Chains A and B, each alone.
Chain A
Amino acid sequence: MKIHEYQAVEFFRQYGIATAKGAPAFTPDEAVEVAKTLPGPVYVVKAQIHSGGRGKAGGVKIAKSLDEVRTYASQLLGATLVTKQTGPEGKQVNRLFITEGVDIEKEYYVSFAVDGATARVVMMASAEGGTEIEEVAANTPEKIVKEYIDPTVGIRGYQARHAAGMLGLDGDETKQFIKIVTGMYRLFMAMDCSLVEINPLAKLKDGRMVAIDAKVNFDDNALFRHKELEELRDVTEEDPKEVEAHKYDLNYIPLKGNIGCMVNGAGLAMATMDIIKYFGAAPANFLDCGGGATAEKVAGAFEILLSDKEVKGIMVNIFGGIMKCDVIAEGIVEASRQVGVKVPLVVRLEGTNAEKGKEILSSSGLNITPADSMADAAQKIIALIKA
């Protein structure tokens, strides 16, 4: 789960991480009100969208007066930002973060994430701040210092000092850096984060080290123990169908094609997309209906697929282990009756209770094309939408 920069900054403040002064604004008037509380005379007006690369896309403006704050706020609110990460359709700006302007001497990068291979939280830091860290990692990996943290002892002073040394920080800066990374690690662990990132971490001309950006992502699997985070979710940042899918506990990702897919298991769902492409068509989505699906959940999945107007046909691909094929079959029948299927539907059922499932489908009286394998199913649905 992602949150906005201004929300992440709130967490930074709670964990003692130095940040630039600022507050969120939802209208140009609010933006000016916030700016009045800041020292000035320079302010930063920052678009709040769940995407990186905002600066390059024109989503961060330096204002030299309260009038300019109002002008930029009016320009940005309601505008659509297209960044490297948003895709060509971009994202609409509905919120702003107004901060004090600061005199930056040098920019650094620091982040915490989980490294699967070592099963450790890893701190990554670099003196190449402000740029895209992926590029630094790809072109000059030696410029990134990594510290792997043992969960039994947590981040230690020597690790932070080692990283600070690699970044070329002096004694006082190192002290500030230790406070910042210790706070980041505490936040990461306490809130079940999947990413805590500062890019850039700025050294100011007055000697202070300050987070100029704040990114905090949370582990979706751990949200059950942080119910309060649900309030920070900005559903306008998410695809409405993804939000709907979330309610049914489904993994759904929209794509550009016209064949809707409903599959059990993430690997099989990806392979289903691949095989549709292999036979010359394009999948409309990734949809993993998971392990313990009820008929109701499957019906929900079906409604989401059918709500996509691009979808010209649906391919259901189930190889049941934990998922029983008769449950899927009941879901398909129920959903078809509720919403009415006006597009071709090809269903492939295999595995646990497959025979029972096939029987439910064939005795339903619905117009369903059965398939014997996933290749068969893909070829059949492609033929049907072309017919």
Chain B
Amino acid sequence: MSILINKDTKIIVQGITGGQGLFHSRQMMDYGAKVVGGVTPGKGGQTVLDNVPVFNTVVEAKEATGATASLISVPPPFAADSILEAVDAGMELVVCITEGIPILDMLQVKNYMAGKKTRLIGPNCPGLITTDESKMGIIPNTICKKGHVGVVSRSGTLTYEAVASLVEQGLGVTTAVGIGGDPVKGTDFIDVMKEFKNDPDTYAVVMIGEIGGSGEETAAAWIKENMGDKPVTAFIAGRTAPPGKRMGHAGAIISGGKGTAAEKTAVLESFGIKVAETPNKIGETMVAALKKAGLLEKCLTK
């Protein structure tokens, strides 16, 4: 078991004929993901990467292939349009890795998606990976080991760091999800926590947050109420970040003294969520939490 995607998930890639689209589609297929088609307007009828058919529209791609999930890898000016097209075509899962989408575009997208069945992950995210089964996005193929810890993260590369730290401690991963660093995004921490809660194979979850906003605090309160006997540990990036400066991610900014790492850490700890001091200690912190919950033996992979 896993969340959101597995070995049977049929995936199309919007923007498959671009340099990044081709490179990462290839990596996804190497990992075992079922990439059944691609979409690039004007290039319908071509094939790429060992006979993956390219279509002009998402609707055509979906009808011809039966795909239920779409990965979007297109430049920022066209990304909102691509998301809307995928939602309109009724895709169940849409993952948008594009960085730099105007925030007002995402406002429209979020508004349009209200009440629709599509789940959007991202934008400005690394996507997700279900160990040894499938991946959508850009998480490196080599880092995951199958296990029982779920990972959810606001940051791309820190997701990889978290996975590496867990694996180093003899733990493994069910699914790792990068939800992205933009202030307006499709999926938040709690949405992913709900999935992990209902996944019988996931025994514990690591949450990776950063400065800015209040997503971590809101999630912490929810976790305390709802995650039951599944331990959750965390890491928060940005202890040394100066206030008023946007630290790369549009959402990562301390404004008016709110959203600091110290404040977030205090709130998380007050809800019983242990926060690792450095990324290297994410694994250790989880081991300690699992030991306390009597779950460590069940979670060790070696």
Contact = CB atoms under 8 A, between A and B. Distances in A.
Interface of A: 85, 114, 116-117, 119-121, 134, 137-138, 150-152, 189, 192, 194, 219, 221-222, 224-225, 251, 253, 255, 263-271, 273-278, 283, 286, 288, 290-292, 319-322, 350-352, 373-375
Contacts of A277: 239-240
Interface stretch (B191-199, B221-229, B272-280): B272-280
Nearest to A226: B102
A269 B183 CA distance: 18
Contacts of B238: 270-271, 274
Nearest to A355: B142
Binding site of B, secondary structure by majority: helix, strand, loop or mixed? loop
Interface in B266-284: 277-280
Contacts, number: 181
What 8 pairs across the A-B complex have the smallest Cβ distances? A267-B155, A266-B248, A116-B183, A265-B157, A222-B102, A134-B256, A268-B157, A119-B110
Interface in B189-242: 208, 210-211, 213-215, 218, 235, 237-242
A268 B240 contact: no
Q: Dominant SS at the A interface?
A: mixed
B279 A275 contact: yes
A273 B245 CA distance: 14
B31 to A, nearest CB: 12
Interface of B: 20, 24, 27, 76-77, 97, 99-108, 110-111, 126, 137-140, 142-143, 153-158, 160-161, 164, 181-185, 208, 210-211, 213-215, 218, 235, 237-242, 244-245, 247-252, 255-257, 261, 277-280
Given A116-B184, A271-B235, A275-B279, 12 more contacts: A119-B110, A134-B257, A222-B105, A265-B248, A266-B181, A267-B248, A268-B157, A274-B237, A321-B140, A322-B156, A352-B27, A374-B161
Contact of A268 (B27, B138, B158, B244): B158
15 contacts: A120-B107, A189-B104, A253-B245, A267-B181, A268-B279, A270-B238, A270-B240, A270-B241, A273-B240, A275-B278, A291-B156, A319-B164, A322-B126, A351-B140, A374-B278
B111 to A, nearest CB: 5
A267 B153 contact: yes
Given A273-B240, A350-B164, A221 B76 contact: yes
Given A219-B104, A267-B154, A275-B279, A321 B160 contact: yes
A117 B213 contact: yes
A171 B63 CA distance: 58
Contacts of A152: 111
B103 A271 contact: no
A274 B138 contact: no
Contacts of B158: 265, 267-268, 271
A375 B280 contact: yes
B123 to A, nearest CB: 10
A137 B256 contact: yes
B181 to A, nearest CB: 6
B209 to A, nearest CB: 9
- Residue with the highest number of chain B CB atoms closer than 10 Å, among A134, A219, A263, A271: A271
B261 to A, nearest CB: 8
A292 B20 contact: yes
